[in-house]
């Protein structure tokens, strides 16, 4: 047996003992808010050609959390226009029970509207329109408290809660609207009062259990200047929250470098974990027809996007990148429904078949093991996508103080793993580890 191979085998033995890293507490989430809607339209979900529960399919891939939105819509509104109004409490509670029963975490996304709320739409619920501002504050307390109590009673307590959806321009317009002609201290004060009442309601309803992590979610993942404007003003109101959520869609919000800049600056300035609360990328070019930030909409392109996004979030300063949520994960085309192209960005194709990108995405939560093997060309080191944002380092001596040096090797990604090949080395025995870049 040659001396180089003996060296490689001894290195392998050392690696298997010394360099297994623990799993990271990182969320790989999916918005599945319309799952029951699509099921009611006859849509099914398949893994390997076998129809299964979509939640079980995603959990098997490694996803850990499901996000569900909540509207204030009435039963009549939901019946008349399901796609745009169905996500009320009667719809969401049973779906949340399914999420919990599947062994997944649950992220509740309050919209505070009868239908979609976003930066351009924050319409006050129709049943609240005649309330005075002080009554509206009390209503926010009661509504949030009662809603959380409903989920708690059903055994579906949220793990995370957003106080509004993409509230860059505030919520419950015009009372809680900010920016533009509503950019003044009175409006920010009113927004703060509404949000604090909501959070207090959630806290009181959570008594005796675990308080959900409170997320404030805006839509400016590629825009640090607006992010700073919003959170500087919000912090001035004393609103207590745990995490910052940003929507980032590469076809709307610019290059990934802008996302990296925004997330890192937010983590450094506000000292809170940051998540990408919404993102997606097309698996076909039937709606988004052109290259997006250098990646072609395709089955391969969707995987490439996941691989490119991973080190951006995993590499946030101080380890403050807490997770990612894929939006419209369950979408499939339905005749007569305007899905704004998101049926082409889901993790299931037009026939409900699971796409490879879901498995890649699930690797964000895989145990971070440094795997080793011996090949003709040398030592092969590999690790899962959960190691995005980490560097491969080496040392010849484990006696403290240990000095780990970066390896100037070419790192590649194929499928669900990073890997590199190191040539045979007749020098001293070496040890290897993955080291965070923050």
Active-site residues, by number, are 166, 278
Predicted TM-score (pTM) of this structure: 0.93
**Could you list the pLDDT tens digit for every one of the 438 residues in the chain?**
344 443 444 444 344 333 334 335 899 999 999 999 999 999 999 999 999 999 999 999 999 999 999 999 999 999 999 999 999 999 999 999 999 999 999 999 999 999 999 999 999 999 999 999 999 999 999 999 999 999 999 999 999 999 999 999 999 999 999 999 999 999 999 999 999 999 999 999 999 999 999 999 999 999 999 999 999 999 999 999 999 999 999 999 999 999 999 999 999 999 999 999 999 999 999 999 999 999 999 999 999 999 999 999 999 999 999 999 999 999 999 999 999 999 999 999 999 999 999 999 999 999 999 998 888 778 899 999 999 989 999 999 999 999 999 988 889 887 678 999 988 877 788 899 998 888
pLDDT at 437: 81
pLDDT at 409: 80
172 and 136 Cβ atoms separated by less than 8 Å: yes
360 and 415 Cβ atoms separated by less than 8 Å: yes
pLDDT at 3: 42
Strands 65-70 vs 27-31: parallel, antiparallel or unpaired:
parallel
Nearest Cα to Cα of residue 331 among 345, 349, 344, 343: 343
Own/partner pairs, 290-293, CB within 8 angstroms, 24+ separation: 292/250, 292/251, 293/250, 293/254, 293/255, 293/256
CA gap 27, 8 in Å, rounded = 36
Q: Which domains, and CATH codes, for the chain?
A: 3-21+369-436 (2.60.40), 27-365 (3.20.20.80)
């Amino acid at each position: 047996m040659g001396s180089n191979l003996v060296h490689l085998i001894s290195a392998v033995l050392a690696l298997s003992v010394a360099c297994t890293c623990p799993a990271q507490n990182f969320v790989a989430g999916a918005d599945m808010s319309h799952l029951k809607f699509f099921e009611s339209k006859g849509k099914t979900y398949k893994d390997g050609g076998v129809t299964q529960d979509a939640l079980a399919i995603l959990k098997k891939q490694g996803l850990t959390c499901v996000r569900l939105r909540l509207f204030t819509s009435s039963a009549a509104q939901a019946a008349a226009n399901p796609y745009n109004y169905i996500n009320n409490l009667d719809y969401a509670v049973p779906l949340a029970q399914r999420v919990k029963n599947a062994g997944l975490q649950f992220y509740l996304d309050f919209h505070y509207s009868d239908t979609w709320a976003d930066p351009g739409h924050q319409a006050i619920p129709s049943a609240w329109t005649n309330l005075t501002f002080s009554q509206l504050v009390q209503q926010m307390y009661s509504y949030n408290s009662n809603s959380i109590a409903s989920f708690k009673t059903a055994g579906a307590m949220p793990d995370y809660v957003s106080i509004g959806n993409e509230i860059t321009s505030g919520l419950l317009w015009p009372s809680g609207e900010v920016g533009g002609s509503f950019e003044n201290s009175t409006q920010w004060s009113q927004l703060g009062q509404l949000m604090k009442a909501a959070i207090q309601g959630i806290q009181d309803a959570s008594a005796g259990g675990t308080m959900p992590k409170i997320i404030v979610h805006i839509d400016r993942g590629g825009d640090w200047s607006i992010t700073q404007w919003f959170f500087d003003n919000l912090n001035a109101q004393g609103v207590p929250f745990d995490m910052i959520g940003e929507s980032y869609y590469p076809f709307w919000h610019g290059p990934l470098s802008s996302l990296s800049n925004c997330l890192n600056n937010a983590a450094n300035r506000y000292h809170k974990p940051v998540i990408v609360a919404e993102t997606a990328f097309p698996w076909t070019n039937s709606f988004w027809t052109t290259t997006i930030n250098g990646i072609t909409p395709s089955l391969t392109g969707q995987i490439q996007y996941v691989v490119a996004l991973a080190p951006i979030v995993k590499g946030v300063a101080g380890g403050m990148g807490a997770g990612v949520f894929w939006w419209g994960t369950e979408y499939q085309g339905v005749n007569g429904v305007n899905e704004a192209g998101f049926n082409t960005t889901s993790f299931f194709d037009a026939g409900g078949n699971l796409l490879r990108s879901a498995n890649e995405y699930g690797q964000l939560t895989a145990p971070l093991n440094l795997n080793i093997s011996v090949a003709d060309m040398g030592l092969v080191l590999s690790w899962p996508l959960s190691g995005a944002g980490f560097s491969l380092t080496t040392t010849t001596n484990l006696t403290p103080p240990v000095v780990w040096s970066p390896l100037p090797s070419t790192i590649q990604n194929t499928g669900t793993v990073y890997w590199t090949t190191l040539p045979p080395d007749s020098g001293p025995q070496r040890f290897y580890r993955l080291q965070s870049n923050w």
